A and B are shown apart, each in its own frame.
Chain A
């Protein structure tokens, strides 16, 4: 047998995008790797693995956090939302349309808020949570809101635009939805 003993596996159960998932993983399994490789939810990306770039940002109980700076075992029993779970319609990943995407996703697509798309999931989760707290940011606030995420492609101009546009779409949809209900 080997010199090093095999690692203890921990049964981890996490609710991801509304679905309960369980897997047996070593204690050191980073939440980012757990999502990507154990659950094969590869929409969450890993850009630095030291918490600076923000590409791996997911929502933990609604709050943006770096999934590369959490262990899967610590996420036990918590609710995680990844980019795959932001879509309002379950088929959005198969056939994404404006309406099936959440307002932030739609805004990024409308405003050319992404180029290579690698950092994008981290921006989308961050901005989605941000707009819950601040539904109508100014341009300066929008810039501040995304200032913890690195993007190497866009120069951030259109990401700022996307945040503002997402706030508009969110408001439009809220208005539209209530109007429909009444009719």
Chain B
């Protein structure tokens, strides 16, 4: 299990990276963390002629918290984002989901943007990008553009990113004040691709749900967001009406998802599972909406830049966490 030969490109700037990608076109693949790509190369399931290794590209390893979003550069490792206190304060959902991504050693190397660009239906972070109404920032030969999550994911392992384009960052949208979030998934083994997973946001205003959304892992072929407002809106979490509202929400999930079966779980089972997971995770999010809601925006620490890995030497330069 050794990869086929390829030509290695190590651009130092985004412009250089785009120039190489433009030159090699569909024969090229971007290498960032490589935690999904290299297994495929080792098994020779893919043999791209060119690998554009962006690990030395400057300026891609930062996490920035802005009033609207958490912006994550293409070289930010999952672990870097997971450990970022400012990102956690702004959008706890990120860490809630990231701890479910494979195992720590994989998260130390794999990048969040890479995982999104890989667009695996079993990936956690594509679902989170969708749930936060996120955007992919793209650099291409004719300049930069932004792709809304809903236009980005076209199918399983398929995105609207052109061969000559590089995803340089993603922005996870911040959530309204009074929002609680939660993420859960069920895998055969701890750390495996989930049989089903779900992330939810619940916004509580004046004691009742004013908004609720869910997005899913492994049960839809592309990330999608289900509005649970119709089921939960106006209901007070924990009240007498809450249980039947959860039933309605679960029913909506059951109708929404379209899982496929494989050797680990049948389609029917996954449908049941994601329905049940949603039912279990919604109260958690609703509880957090009142006890630990997403942080209100603090203008003093509006923009925080931090390196993607605890050791700055690996990710390149970057300010420290605090």
Contact = CB atoms under 8 A, between A and B. Distances in A.
B146 to A, nearest CB: 28
Contact of A66 (B1, B43, B105): B105
B34 A70 contact: yes
Contact of A78 (B3, B4, B38, B313): B313
Nearest to B40: A50
Given A28-B4, A73-B8, A147 B190 contact: yes
Interface string B103-143: 11110110000000000000000000000000000000000
A148 interface: yes
Interface of A: 7-8, 10, 26-28, 30, 33, 49-51, 54, 57, 60-66, 68-71, 73-74, 78-79, 126, 145, 147-148
Nearest to B3: A28
B195 interface: no
B29 to A, nearest CB: 12
B105 A70 contact: no
B7 interface: yes
A55 B259 CA distance: 33
B69 interface: no
Interface in B1-57: 1-8, 10, 31, 34-35, 38-39, 41-43, 51, 53, 55
B76 interface: no
Nearest to B189: A147
Contacts of B109: 60, 65-66, 69-70
B1 A10 contact: no
A7 B191 contact: no
B62 interface: no
A148 B100 CA distance: 12
Interface of B: 1-8, 10, 31, 34-35, 38-39, 41-43, 51, 53, 55, 79, 102-106, 108-109, 190-191, 309-311, 313-314
Contacts of A26: 5
Nearest to B35: A69
B53 A73 contact: yes
A7 B38 contact: no
A62 B314 CA distance: 10
A74 B111 CA distance: 15
Given A50-B42, A65-B109, A8 B7 contact: yes
Most buried by B among A30, A69, A70: A69
B6 A28 contact: yes
Contacts of B310: 62-63
Given A33-B2, A63-B79, A68-B42, 13 more contacts: A26-B5, A28-B3, A49-B2, A51-B35, A51-B39, A54-B105, A57-B105, A61-B313, A63-B108, A63-B314, A69-B109, A147-B190, A148-B103
A133 B56 CA distance: 27
A10 B103 CA distance: 31
Contacts of A49: 1-2, 39, 42
A10 B6 CA distance: 12
Nearest to A46: B1
A162 B313 CA distance: 31
Question: Lowest 4 CB-CB distances: which A-B pairs, in order?
Answer: A148-B103, A27-B8, A50-B39, A61-B311
A79 B313 contact: yes
A108 B317 CA distance: 37
Contacts of B309: 61, 63
Nearest to A48: B1
A148 B104 contact: yes
A30 B314 contact: no
Given A8-B7, A27-B51, A51-B39, A148 B313 contact: no
Contact of A27 (B2, B6, B35, B102): B6
A7 B3 CA distance: 13
B104 A69 contact: no
B104 A60 contact: no
Nearest to A143: B190
Nearest to B1: A49
A51 B38 contact: yes
Given A60-B314, A64-B105, A73 B5 contact: no
Contact of B106 (A10, A60, A66): A66
A62 to B, nearest CB: 5
Most buried by B among A28, A57, A147: A28
Nearest to B105: A64
B88 to A, nearest CB: 16
Contacts of B79: 63
B38 A69 contact: yes
A147 B1 CA distance: 24
